[in-house]
Amino acid sequence: MAFEWPIRVYVEDTDAGGIVYYANYLRYLERARSEWLRHLGFEQQSLMENGVRFVVRDVSIQYRKPAVLDDEVIATVDLIDATKAGLTLNQTVIKRSDSQKDKQEILVDAQIRIACINNEGRPTAIPADVATLMTKS
Protein backbone atom coordinates (compact mmCIF):
# COMPACT_ATOMS: atom_id res chain seq x y z
CA MET A 1 0.00 0.00 0.00
CA ALA A 2 1.33 3.42 -0.94
CA PHE A 3 2.18 6.04 1.65
CA GLU A 4 -0.12 9.08 1.41
CA TRP A 5 0.48 12.71 2.36
CA PRO A 6 -2.40 15.24 2.15
CA ILE A 7 -1.68 18.69 0.71
CA ARG A 8 -3.92 21.73 0.41
CA VAL A 9 -3.46 23.91 -2.69
CA TYR A 10 -2.72 27.50 -1.67
CA VAL A 11 -2.62 30.71 -3.72
CA GLU A 12 1.19 30.56 -3.69
CA ASP A 13 1.01 27.21 -5.53
CA THR A 14 -1.02 28.53 -8.45
CA ASP A 15 -0.66 30.70 -11.52
CA ALA A 16 -2.84 33.72 -12.26
CA GLY A 17 -5.68 31.40 -13.33
CA GLY A 18 -5.76 29.51 -10.04
CA ILE A 19 -4.21 26.35 -11.53
CA VAL A 20 -1.26 24.67 -9.80
CA TYR A 21 1.98 25.66 -11.53
CA TYR A 22 3.51 22.52 -13.02
CA ALA A 23 6.81 22.69 -11.08
CA ASN A 24 4.95 22.73 -7.77
CA TYR A 25 3.92 19.12 -8.29
CA LEU A 26 7.61 18.24 -7.90
CA ARG A 27 7.52 20.01 -4.52
CA TYR A 28 4.46 18.00 -3.52
CA LEU A 29 6.22 14.77 -4.46
CA GLU A 30 9.34 15.83 -2.54
CA ARG A 31 7.27 16.57 0.57
CA ALA A 32 5.65 13.16 0.35
CA ARG A 33 9.06 11.44 0.12
CA SER A 34 10.31 13.41 3.13
CA GLU A 35 7.23 12.51 5.15
CA TRP A 36 7.50 8.88 4.05
CA LEU A 37 11.02 8.76 5.50
CA ARG A 38 9.77 10.45 8.69
CA HIS A 39 6.91 7.92 8.88
CA LEU A 40 9.50 5.14 8.69
CA GLY A 41 11.36 6.74 11.61
CA PHE A 42 14.14 8.56 9.77
CA GLU A 43 14.67 12.32 9.95
CA GLN A 44 16.57 13.64 6.94
CA GLN A 45 18.76 15.87 9.13
CA SER A 46 19.88 12.85 11.13
CA LEU A 47 20.55 10.85 7.97
CA MET A 48 22.64 13.70 6.54
CA GLU A 49 24.62 13.98 9.77
CA ASN A 50 25.44 10.30 9.31
CA GLY A 51 26.58 10.76 5.71
CA VAL A 52 23.42 9.59 3.99
CA ARG A 53 21.64 11.79 1.47
CA PHE A 54 18.89 10.90 -0.96
CA VAL A 55 18.94 12.82 -4.22
CA VAL A 56 16.74 12.70 -7.28
CA ARG A 57 18.52 11.05 -10.17
CA ASP A 58 15.77 10.89 -12.75
CA VAL A 59 12.15 11.98 -13.09
CA SER A 60 9.53 10.88 -15.58
CA ILE A 61 6.28 12.76 -15.00
CA GLN A 62 2.91 12.90 -16.70
CA TYR A 63 0.47 15.70 -16.01
CA ARG A 64 -3.04 14.39 -16.52
CA LYS A 65 -5.40 16.91 -14.94
CA PRO A 66 -4.81 20.16 -13.03
CA ALA A 67 -5.34 20.80 -9.36
CA VAL A 68 -6.78 24.20 -8.54
CA LEU A 69 -6.85 26.65 -5.68
CA ASP A 70 -8.26 25.18 -2.42
CA ASP A 71 -8.19 21.57 -3.65
CA GLU A 72 -7.06 18.99 -1.17
CA VAL A 73 -4.82 16.55 -2.98
CA ILE A 74 -2.83 13.56 -1.82
CA ALA A 75 0.76 12.88 -2.83
CA THR A 76 1.68 9.20 -2.69
CA VAL A 77 4.91 7.22 -2.48
CA ASP A 78 5.14 3.59 -3.57
CA LEU A 79 8.49 1.79 -3.63
CA ILE A 80 8.85 -0.15 -6.88
CA ASP A 81 12.48 -1.29 -6.67
CA ALA A 82 15.45 -0.95 -4.35
CA THR A 83 19.10 -1.52 -5.13
CA LYS A 84 22.12 -1.23 -2.89
CA ALA A 85 22.39 2.53 -3.48
CA GLY A 86 19.13 3.53 -5.14
CA LEU A 87 15.36 3.48 -5.20
CA THR A 88 12.72 3.58 -7.88
CA LEU A 89 9.45 5.08 -6.68
CA ASN A 90 6.07 5.47 -8.28
CA GLN A 91 4.51 8.70 -7.07
CA THR A 92 1.16 10.22 -7.80
CA VAL A 93 -0.83 13.27 -6.92
CA ILE A 94 -4.46 12.28 -6.61
CA LYS A 95 -7.73 13.96 -5.80
CA ARG A 96 -10.47 11.98 -4.12
CA SER A 97 -14.09 12.57 -4.99
CA ASP A 98 -15.96 14.62 -2.39
CA SER A 99 -19.07 12.50 -2.85
CA GLN A 100 -17.42 9.08 -3.25
CA LYS A 101 -14.37 8.75 -0.98
CA ASP A 102 -13.30 5.50 -2.66
CA LYS A 103 -13.20 7.19 -6.09
CA GLN A 104 -10.06 9.10 -7.04
CA GLU A 105 -8.56 10.89 -10.01
CA ILE A 106 -4.87 10.73 -10.81
CA LEU A 107 -3.72 14.27 -11.50
CA VAL A 108 -0.01 13.54 -11.83
CA ASP A 109 1.83 10.25 -12.26
CA ALA A 110 5.60 10.11 -11.86
CA GLN A 111 8.40 7.62 -11.67
CA ILE A 112 11.28 8.94 -9.58
CA ARG A 113 14.72 7.36 -9.32
CA ILE A 114 16.61 8.23 -6.15
CA ALA A 115 20.33 7.79 -5.51
CA CYS A 116 21.90 7.47 -2.07
CA ILE A 117 25.08 9.53 -1.77
CA ASN A 118 27.51 10.40 1.00
CA ASN A 119 28.54 13.88 2.13
CA GLU A 120 31.13 14.04 -0.66
CA GLY A 121 28.49 13.36 -3.31
CA ARG A 122 29.62 9.81 -4.06
CA PRO A 123 27.26 6.85 -4.29
CA THR A 124 26.90 4.97 -1.02
CA ALA A 125 24.85 2.03 0.17
CA ILE A 126 21.49 2.70 1.75
CA PRO A 127 21.93 1.82 5.44
CA ALA A 128 20.55 -1.66 6.18
CA ASP A 129 18.03 -0.45 8.78
CA VAL A 130 16.65 2.16 6.37
CA ALA A 131 16.49 -0.30 3.47
CA THR A 132 14.73 -2.92 5.61
CA LEU A 133 11.98 -0.54 6.70
CA MET A 134 11.55 0.87 3.19
CA THR A 135 10.98 -2.54 1.68
CA LYS A 136 8.53 -3.53 4.44
CA SER A 137 6.33 -0.45 3.98
Give catalytic residue positions.
Answer: 15
Q: Which residues, 6 or more positions from 117, have their beta carbon under 8 angstroms from its beta carbon?
A: 53, 54, 55, 123, 124
Question: How many whole angstroms from its chain centre is CA 78?
Answer: 9
Q: Which helix (H) or strand (E) holds 46?
A: helix 44-49
